[in-house]
Structure 1
């Protein structure tokens, strides 16, 4: 475990970029729907605001796959990071500029700004992670002798520490206006970007020149492997749907509840995303402590499948808890006879900390399922290459989360009768109940698919291992 703590001067500068991404994600992107609902009260409703956020997240996730392919095939990772980070900074600056304009003009320019930010975010996935991985690999080590799991652990250590620090730092922006939050996020990312570029010359790149388009046997085996796990991979779409719901409707729940602690302190929504991020980061760490390394490959594969299933269980419980809390919240509205004309600005006499369980469950869902998917690509792949482990796993998670965002838009459209102009005139309790039922059905499907695939493709290997023992 302590071998993951590996100092690298180059990784230190890259971590500055990761820090700025963590800050911007938690301070701006996670609660962007709040900005829309606060500033577009007469221009949009809850369903439309959620759709804009989901489109941005979905496009960003899909573009991450394209950007990853471009970085591996046509451009080096360094250039892709340079271009996409610049787009992100420009998008944040324009977002700040939009707050200086009148509401009519602000609405018109915000859509292209959101798309610009989506393109900028696409570069922080596989390209930035792969570039960081390259920097924590000792250049003096023989490539054949590199412990790939140890190198992956080094990358995860740097990434999680830098990202977590960015999330914690974003808490200081929770008391600021939207204008100051956008400007500060843009400035922090710009400074980290320039600092990294200034020190980029110290990095010795391990990028290999692409000399042709012939595919190796290992690459062909990777394609066969990816086709094999497609059924398991598609069942993760529902987790992406629940994740998208957490970044939209969970946030609006918080914005309409009592967020005061006495008369001195206001609890920001970002606190719950800090909680979610903390739980998500702790899960892989605890699993690493609890699961012994010296186990057979077949047992390790089984543990991975169980981890993904546990993540789906937590997704189901997150929806169930959100449903029950929303039922209680709406009952308070009905009991208090809150008029619709005041429903946007009126906080329900219900503590915001009621939302802590569903955000915690959301973090457990991400921690178990994403860690399981990440390990799935490495431990089930016969070639066991770092390319498959990092690029394919990151791209697959980006793709599933992107599909989840578009599913949230589709479901909000199909069940539009449940959505009013704001959350207090909507029936999110019905929507959360529908998601819970959908999650239960998806969990059953996952168990069936896993059982079939395990018996068909991987059971023979387990029998061989048992015979050897």
Structure 2
């Protein structure tokens, strides 16, 4: 029999199928023609287009709110943080819908349609008249102008949060869908999956770099309608490209077993029900897992021991594991182990929220001339974050990991938690630099008598801000990628979209906490005729105090993170 004849027989095709995966129509998929970098490159390209759209809005949003919409600096910062928080928390809902009902592929399609609709309405809102009523001659005209402005304001925020809803379904599912293209049970594809997270974030930051440089200039110097319209076109193009690649994708099989949420929830319910009962010592060391056919690891059995009570049978039964089995208890423990890591990482999200708000307003007061005829937009400074990530990730993946692997013997060079901790330390350094530079900016304004002249450019080059952006970018190359891989890898397989949404939730809750912190400080420092730390006149404000506070909070968060990371028990690799 020839090779060509053999290729048509059933046996090789069965051997080539990928266990646990089907195509978008539910049919078996074959390894040579699906998944791997063939599909992953495709999905990374789609996500780059989406990130181009997202950063086209997020990076310069504070400028739009304080400019055409006429809001104060503190109010604009709070609104940006609230929107960022919602955009980063809604992925929890999107991931739940995907993992429990629709699947990632269908969720991405629905979310993309909502995303495009939101961007289209946002572009429409920017075409309406701005806050100014200078052209209105009488009371009736002023009333009409105000009505148009109020409609514009409502349409703008409705569109903005519609984008957040679309992002909530798109963001966690696309990344998890990309990682799903690599079979963790295949040795070669398992190694490629580790590099996938590095190059995924590299692609995202490359898109962010171009978005910030191009769109912030268009928005500041041409018009906002075009600045919002281009992201809309980018997202629509991304959606079409995603659909064109449907035949190559591997989709996870939606089994008939109970939802992982129900399984994990049942463990907690049964453990609470049995909390008065003693757990026999033999239970956690000798009872064999019914499904996994392996004994419960001793170090895991000693952690969160109260959950072992879920293994107890109903009263009067002599058989262990009657209600819950060991694999289900292990799922619950794995999920519970993530909680302290997630909580201690929240301070990272608080600091992350500052780059598109106060950092941008800070740069707007400084000398931004590159040449006598060209002035860079303040928001474009965020490109140094993306640029430093674009430079750092290839060096990390190609140079640092091989050298660290030879020294530590670990496949990734260092553990995921060590990578996250390194990024948190660099964030502390970034905030210290930001505080020192802001002190220098305030001193320069005082020396030149510009304290009461907020509209006059301070004779201090905006290049002074570059180090804090660069250090923040290197920090993200460590912490952000580490958080993505950690929360994808350490949750049960069926909950990987939820895992990635937990990472995004750190940024979302961090943004809400940042908004709350700003509101509290604004009220505490702005009373009795005093200028608050966030005064509209930044020459009278004290952003340096705020940055020192954030540096201290991040340092405290890092210490707490280190304590919990030392005792963390990693799951077995998939």
Which residue pairs with 1:22 in the alignment? 51
Which residue pairs with 1:444 in the alignment? 559
Which residue pairs with 1:411 in the alignment? 517
SS of the residue aligned with 1:350? strand
Q: How does 1:208-357 map to 2 (within 5 A)?
A: 208-213=253-258, 215=263, 218=327, 220-288=329-397, 289-292=399-402, 293=405, 303-338=415-450, 340=452, 343=454, 345-357=455-467
Which residue pairs with 1:402 in the alignment? 508
Q: Does 1:159 find its partner at 2:265?
A: no
* Contact persistence 1:92–1:185 (CA under 8 A): yes
Q: Does 1:361 find its partner at 2:467?
A: no
Rate the CA distance shift 1:212–1:295 in 2: closer, same or farther, 3 A: farther
Deviation of residue 320 (structure 1)?
0.9
Which residue pairs with 1:172 in the alignment? 214
Q: How does 1:48-127 map to 2 (within 5 A)?
A: 48-102=75-129, 103=131, 104-105=149-150, 106-127=152-173
Name the larger-Rg structure.
2
Larger relative helix fraction: 1
Question: Scaled by the length of structure 1, what TM-score is found?
Answer: 0.83
Q: 1:420 aligns with which of 535, 538, 541?
A: 535
SS of the residue aligned with 1:261? strand
Which residue pairs with 2:144 in the alignment? none
Deviation of residue 57 (structure 1)?
0.8
Rate the CA distance shift 1:387–1:353 in 2: closer, same or farther, 3 A: farther
* RMSD, matched Cα: 3.0
Rate the CA distance shift 1:396–1:209 in 2: closer, same or farther, 3 A: closer
Q: Does 1:40 find its partner at 2:69?
A: yes
Quote the Cα distance in structure 1 between the aligned partners of 2:485 and 2:105: 26
Question: Scaled by the length of structure 2, what TM-score is found?
Answer: 0.69
Which residue pairs with 1:464 in the alignment? none
Deviations 1:386-412 (A, max 9, x none): 556x53542221111111101111110
* Contact persistence 1:93–1:183 (CA under 8 A): yes
Q: Give the gaps of 5 or more residues in structure 2.
A: 1-34, 132-148, 264-290, 292-325, 526-532
Q: Give the gaps of 5 or more residues in structure 1.
A: 462-469
Deviation of residue 180 (structure 1)?
1.2
Q: How many residues align?
A: 437
Deviations 1:6-38 (A, max 9, x none): 652x44553442122221233221221111112
* Contact persistence 2:350–2:514 (CA under 8 A): yes
* Contact persistence 1:94–1:113 (CA under 8 A): yes
Quote the Cα distance in structure 1 between the aligned partners of 2:488 and 2:231: 35
Deviations 1:354-392 (A, max 9, x none): 11111112112222222333454577x5xx86556x535
Larger displacement relative to structure 2 (143-152 or 426-435): 143-152
